[in-house]
């Protein structure tokens, strides 16, 4: 598993380094409604934009999975309650006297 991690991480890191080195030009970032201006490197603008998009997408996915997680927790509680009930019935059955011979049922 550690080898797989490095087989994926090393080429990805290499691609990011090559991307950063080849996109070192200075750019000015202006956010339209605000009088805010930032001069920075192009690769920082691109990579930070990707990071913000990734985090926003993860937030949307997490929020949309809330109902599923809530249902899973409710089912887990129900299963635990049923398992406790089964154990209680088994312990009651073990303490009951044996049935009388010849009794139907």
Q: How many Cα atoms sit within 13 Å of 46 on the Cβ side?
A: 13
Q: For 40-71, how does the pLDDT look when each residue is reduced to its tens digit (9 = 90+)?
A: 999 999 999 999 999 999 999 999 999 999 99
DSSP string, 75-101: HHHHHHHHHHHHHHHHHHHHHSPPPPT
Give pLDDT tens digits for 87-100: 999 998 888 887 77
**In the predicted model, what is the mean pLDDT of residues 21-39?**
92
Closest C-alpha among 28, 62, 60, 67 to residue 44: 28
Residue that is written with structure tokens 């409604």 in the block: 33
């Amino acid at each position: 598993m550690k080898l797989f991690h490095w087989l994926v991480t090393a080429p990805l890191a290499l691609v990011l380094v090559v991307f950063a080195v080849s996109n070192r030009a200075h750019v000015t970032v202006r956010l339209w409604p605000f009088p805010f201006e930032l001069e920075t490197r192009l690769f920082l603008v691109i990579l930070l934009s990707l990071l913000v998009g990734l985090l926003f997408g993860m937030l949307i996915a997490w929020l949309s999975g809330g109902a599923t997680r809530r249902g899973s927790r409710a089912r887990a509680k129900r299963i635990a309650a049923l398992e406790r009930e089964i154990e209680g019935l088994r312990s009651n059955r073990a303490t009951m006297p044996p049935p009388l011979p010849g009794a139907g049922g």
